[in-house]
Amino acid sequence: MEFLSPATWEEALAAKSERPDAVPIMGGTDVMVEINFDRRRPPALIDLTRVPGLREWRADGDGVRLGAGVPYTGIVDALGGAAPALAAAARSVASPQIRNRGSVGGNLGGASPAGDAHPPLLATDAVVELASVGGVRRVPAREFYLGPRRTARRDDELIAAVLLPAPAGPQRFAKVGTRNAMVIAVVSFALALDARSRTVGTGIGSAGPTPLRAPGAEEFAAAEFDWEGGAPLPESAVHRFGELVAAAARPIDDVRGSAGYRRHALAVLARRALARAAADYREGGARCA
């Protein structure tokens, strides 16, 4: 196995262009597991840890441009206000040691449907910035996940950053795991209310071949929600929302839980998220409106 260690972003892009089969590595929290388990023997690794800038984030218009290599710990520490759902998800990732190494770029690169970062990126309509020697292109997270571990990233591209829009309303993230920490989610869910566009965003993790949205649930909630005052939704509407989210999932039976339980738990998480987001909306009415 070849080990490439570019010192600059340009060198990294050149390396990826020359060796499209090379696998980028930063924290190694996914890549090393796969290598150790012999699930994958990539012909080359591109170590991105020396590339400057990947571990940085900065304001970008109203939002934030998050370097692909910012560790989850950094997101927890700095972005609780700028990206509440992503920060909540980051907080729930694995253990402190893994949060110190793992990054959103890694989650996007591996594209496991269980990655904790995906649901918030979908719910908040974040944008993935991809780069190659040919230039930069921006792909909305909602168009990024194409199939099981398949994404819109071309083989010669590296993930440079994620653009996180400024929140315009409450955001929520929740997951069910068999254990309280250090566990691959049985199912996870993110919700974002956008008061400006009066839209609702959703993201579903661990309940399908890719991270998923629930467009029907989004439209339903946007139509039902009291965008003026954030009045509590009727029980029936909350319930319907949960059903629509569950219906959008495409879960399987596995070691962690059955498909039936996943759908059920997802509906519960969705109901709870919507009810709590509505409460947040009322409380923070002045801030968000």
Partner 1 sequence: MATRMFGMPVQRTEDERLITGKGGYLDDLGAGAYAAAFVRSPHAHARVRDIDVTGALDVEGLVAVYTHEDLSGPMAEPLPLLIPHPAILDGRTPYALAKEYVHYVGEPVVMVVARDRYVAEDAVGRIAVDYETLDPVVGIEAAARAERVVHAGMSDNVAAHLVQEVGDARAAIAAAPNRIELDLDIERSACTPMEGRGVYARWDGRDAMLRLYSSTQTASGVRAAVAAKLGLQLGQVEVVVPDVGGGFGVKIVHPWPEELMVPWAARALGHEVKWAEDRREHFTAAAHERAQRQHVTVGFDDEGRLLGLDVDILHDNGAYLPYGIIVPIVTSTQLLGPYKPGAYRVEFRSLYTTTAIVTPYRGAGRPQGVFAMERTMDAIAAHLGMDRADVRAANFIQPEEMPYDQGLLFQDGRPLIYDSGDYPASLEKIKKLVGWDDFTAYRDAARAEGRKVGIGLACYVEGTGPGPYEGGHVQVETSGKVRVATGLTTQGQGHQTALAQIVADELGVPMSDISVTTGDTRRMPYSVGTFASRGAVMSGSAVALAARRLKEKALRIAADALEADAEDLEIVDGRVQVRGTPSAGIELGTVAVLSNPLRYAFDEASKAATQFTGAADYTRPPVAADDEPGLEGTDFYSPLRSTFASGMHAVVVETDPETAEIRILRYCVVHDCGKLVNPLIVEGQVHGGVAQGVAGALYERMEYDSGGQLLNASFMDFLMPYASEVPKVEIDHLETPSPLNPLGIKGAGEAGVIPGAAVIAAAVEDAEGFAITRMPVSPSELFHLRRRFDKGGIAPLPGAYSRTGEANA
**List of residues contacting partner 1 (CB under 8 A):** 33, 37, 176, 178-184, 186, 255-258, 260-262, 264-265, 268-269
Nearer to partner 1, 144 or 173 (CB): 173
Nearer to partner 1, 61 or 179 (CB): 179
Q: Are 87 and 94 in contact (CB under 8 A)?
A: no
The pair of three-digit structure tokens given for residue 153, joined into one six-digit string: 């990233």
The pair of three-digit structure tokens given for residue 143, joined into one six-digit string: 């168009």
Nearer to partner 1, 92 or 199 (CB): 92
Number of H helices, E strands in the chain: 11, 13
| Shortest Å, Cβ 130 to partner 1 | 29
Sheet hosting strand 2-4, strand order edge to edge: 2-4, 44-47, 23-25
CA dist 16 and 11 (Å) reads 9
| Shortest Å, Cβ 33 to partner 1 | 7
Nearer to partner 1, 9 or 261 (CB): 261
| Shortest Å, Cβ 177 to partner 1 | 9
Q: Are 128 and 214 in contact (CB under 8 A)?
A: no
Burial 21-56 (b: 16+ CB within 10 A, else e): ebbbbbbbbbbeeebeeeeeebebbbbbeebeebbe
| Shortest Å, Cβ 99 to partner 1 | 15
H/E element, 180: none
CA dist 271 and 81 (Å) reads 23
Q: Using the Cα atoms of residue 85, residue 245, residue 175 and residue 23 in order, give the sign of their dihedral.
A: negative
CA dist 155 and 245 (Å) reads 32
| Shortest Å, Cβ 282 to partner 1 | 22
Nearer to partner 1, 27 or 165 (CB): 27
| Shortest Å, Cβ 259 to partner 1 | 10
Nearer to partner 1, 74 or 257 (CB): 257
Nearer to partner 1, 153 or 172 (CB): 172
| Shortest Å, Cβ 255 to partner 1 | 5
